[in-house]
Amino acid sequence: MTAPVIGVLALQGDVREHVAALTGAGADARPVRRPEELDAVDGLVIPGGESTTISKLADIFEMREPIDKRIAVGMPVYGSCAGMIMLATEVLDGRPDQHGFAGIEMTVRRNAFGRQVDSFEAPVTIAGVEGGPFHAVFIRAPWVERVGASVDVLGEVTEGPSAGRVVAVRQGNLLATSFHPELTGDLRLHRYFVDLVRATA
């Protein structure tokens, strides 16, 4: 079985960690920062980092329009943390000059769980992923406040003061999580995305 080629948007953030996790999950993973590199991939990961910086660099590296076009024709994309913000149609507490790819019909709140000192870990069960809850790492993470009719909620925080907050969603070929699976060594979510890319390649 041929490994799907999956790019990691290499403008800022957890690029190496996602490349390693995708490789471990059976993908031909590579960093992507130029339009011609995007042309060569079957799917894309938008990593955690700083969403306002990723937004600016997407313009500087002339990646915004090519990514928008690939999303429009069905390219699978997975966004973690800042990547979730970049995929949302509406961002609360963002900067006025911040523009994402608006692929998933949802409203997210930036830094919803608090600042860096408020980072935490919690178990999160993801619908469609077997093996029990994920040990989810949240770092200055967003949460989802509203989803459109075509968006499936895959996971919520189940414990603590943030119980009930939506932290994983999917709309068609687009997947997003508030947390960072690339930091835990648990490859199940990356395998889930690799399978999604393989099914559409």
The residues annotated with a catalytic role in the active site are 81, 180, 182
The pair of structure tokens assigned to 141 is 């993470």
| Residues 44 and 87 sit within 8 Å (Cβ to Cβ) | no
Question: Which long-range contacts does 135-139 make (Cβ < 8 Å, 24+ apart)?
Answer: 135/184, 135/186, 136/167, 136/177, 136/178, 136/179, 136/180, 136/181, 136/184, 137/179, 137/180, 137/183, 137/184, 138/81, 138/113, 138/167, 138/178, 138/179, 138/180, 139/48, 139/81, 139/180
Q: How many CB atoms lie within 10 A of CB 141?
A: 30
- Euclidean distance between CA atoms 22 and 120, whole angstroms: 24
DSSP designation for 163: T
Residue 84's SS3 state is helix
> Token pair for residue 102?
């608006």
